[in-house]
């Protein structure tokens, strides 16, 4: 293996280890700072618009980070397989954790959030506004937990 390839592998490995922590930190900031602050300082309707904007950005960024981590995990598995001359399973625990976050993002933002808007507008929805809000909050909490587990696993020694 050439020095240039080795440096590239080291850089990709560092990125694979750092991204989950950055992602978890972003989610914790959204939960602890970015969503409560508007409700503490603005009228409820305006605060809801601000928080909706925050969640739109968070959902997009979460999907981008998920794709990046899935690619990095596949790269890591392929590199390990080549180095040890053995095949590895198609799906690692890390990949399943990332896919869990994708599910939470898609379900929470792209499925539940539109129903919350409908319920807020007085339209019929399968669940009440409060139940939908609780479901959305639960999915976000699960996503945070999954990214924290991913961070923990990425930080373990090689």
pLDDT, average across residues 30-34: 96
Tokens 């809801």 appear where? 48
Helices (H), the chain: 3-29, 36-41, 44-84, 93-105, 113-120, 129-154
pLDDT, tens digit (0-9, with 9 covering 90-100), for 11-27: 888 999 999 999 999 99
Question: CA–CA separation, 33 vs 132, rounded Å?
Answer: 22
Count CA within 13 A, CB hemisphere, residue 40. 6
* Alpha-carbon span 130 to 25, nearest angstrom: 27
Domain residue spans in the chain?
3-154
pTM of the model: 0.88
CB 88 within 8 A of CB 120: no
């Amino acid at each position: 293996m050439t020095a240039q390839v080795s440096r590239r592998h080291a850089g990709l490995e560092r990125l694979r280890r750092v991204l989950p922590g950055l992602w978890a930190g972003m989610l914790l900031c959204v939960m602890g700072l970015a969503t409560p602050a508007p409700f503490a300082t603005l009228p409820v309707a305006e605060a809801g618009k601000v928080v909706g904007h925050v969640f739109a950005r968070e959902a997009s960024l979460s999907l981008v980070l998920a794709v990046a981590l899935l690619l990095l995990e596949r790269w890591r598995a392929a590199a390990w397989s080549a180095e040890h001359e053995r095949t590895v399973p198609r799906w690692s625990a890390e990949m399943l954790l990332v896919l869990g976050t994708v599910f939470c993002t898609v379900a929470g933002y792209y499925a539940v959030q539109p129903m919350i808007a409908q319920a807020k507008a007085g339209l019929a929805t399968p669940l009440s506004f409060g139940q939908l809000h609780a479901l959305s909050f639960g999915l976000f909490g699960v996503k945070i937990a999954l990214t924290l587990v991913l961070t923990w696993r990425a930080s373990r020694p090689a």
